[in-house]
Chain A
């Protein structure tokens, strides 16, 4: 007689990653660090935005960057000129950072520096609109970037990324006059699945909107809850 049994596991497939993320967040909290996870498709301008952010906020906040790059240190090298610790994680062929990789980065950071002296750690995720949204790394807030050249329909096509975001930066606004971008439609599309995110149109090239972004970062570090910014 062939008898089969059922063992109910009811475990989340990502429970190991989630446990790792919670562990990382515990460390951040103990060290008094606020962690922001930056996510976007490749080429949306994460590194450029970070360059401007590091240059401006360096005087008032002690920052570090954990940089996910598939195979190179190109991005990390760009950021190192701002005199801020940059931990490069070569993710190999992985399409996202996971909590274990970020734990490795934190370990390096705390090995070389006193982590309690930092206020803010940026995690620059691997360029990808799909996978990073599913893998928490221990961040306190998620920042999504969408460049104007990508089109206003992307929030509808990659909803999880935009649903999870606490702040959405619409980047490369200096290019908007050359495109048929409908910014109102873009905002409306995001608002279909996200009522809380601050939506800030920016241009790292001209500086447009960056003050609003810096204020948002400051409010995050100070632990203030920011209300959704209205755009246009």
Chain B
């Protein structure tokens, strides 16, 4: 259910960016990075995004979610390992607790893919000539 809140935060952040642009861009896609070791379910996020952006400036925009796996680093063995979610988090070799997480905690708005509306693109091109 918190995916609804996160989607609200996402829309607000993108709106801030949108309003800061000198020429209103045509947003085509929003790219997120969501780690496996977070409390976010990508499918719920996609559902919330579609529902909450209906009839807004983000209607029809693609939400692209890249999931990153959980990767931990064992300081004793000095090696990275992939814990098995739900089963095994400690280092498989020396059984030291999972301390340093190198991947999997990301909850990030990575980038926005956009274009300019045709007539504005032409206008900005001719004014720069």
Contact = CB atoms under 8 A, between A and B. Distances in A.
Interface of A: 2-17, 93-96, 98, 130-131, 133-135, 156-157, 159-160, 163, 191-195
Contacts of A16: 9, 12-13
A14 B39 contact: no
Contacts of B112: 6-7, 9
Contact of B89 (A11, A93, A96, A193): A193
Given A13-B9, A191-B90, 13 more contacts: A4-B115, A6-B113, A11-B13, A11-B108, A13-B10, A13-B13, A14-B9, A134-B2, A134-B38, A134-B107, A159-B85, A159-B89, A195-B97
Nearest to B41: A130
Contact of B107 (A12, A95, A192, A193): A12
B32 interface: yes
Contacts of A157: 86
Contacts of A96: 2
B13 A15 contact: yes
B9 A94 contact: no
Contact of B17 (A5, A9, A98): A9
B111 A9 contact: yes
Nearest to A134: B39
B2 A95 contact: yes
Contacts of A13: 6, 9-10, 13, 32, 107-109
B97 to A, nearest CB: 4
The 10 closest A-B pairs by CB, nearest first: A195-B97, A192-B89, A192-B90, A193-B89, A131-B2, A13-B107, A134-B39, A95-B1, A7-B112, A193-B98
Contacts of A8: 110-111
Contacts of A131: 1-2, 39
A10 B40 CA distance: 18
A17 B111 contact: no
26 contacts: A5-B113, A6-B111, A7-B111, A8-B110, A10-B110, A13-B9, A13-B109, A14-B107, A17-B9, A93-B1, A94-B1, A94-B2, A94-B5, A96-B2, A131-B1, A134-B2, A134-B40, A134-B107, A156-B86, A160-B37, A192-B88, A192-B90, A192-B98, A194-B97, A195-B97, A195-B99
B59 interface: no
B94 interface: no
A40 to B, nearest CB: 15
A199 to B, nearest CB: 12
Contacts of A11: 13, 108-109
Contacts of A17: 9
A8 B96 CA distance: 37
Contacts of A94: 1-2, 5
Contacts of A6: 111-114
Given A11-B108, A15-B13, A192-B88, A98 B97 contact: no
Nearest to A158: B39
A93 to B, nearest CB: 7
B114 A156 contact: no
Contacts of B28: 4
B87 interface: yes
Contacts of B37: 159-160
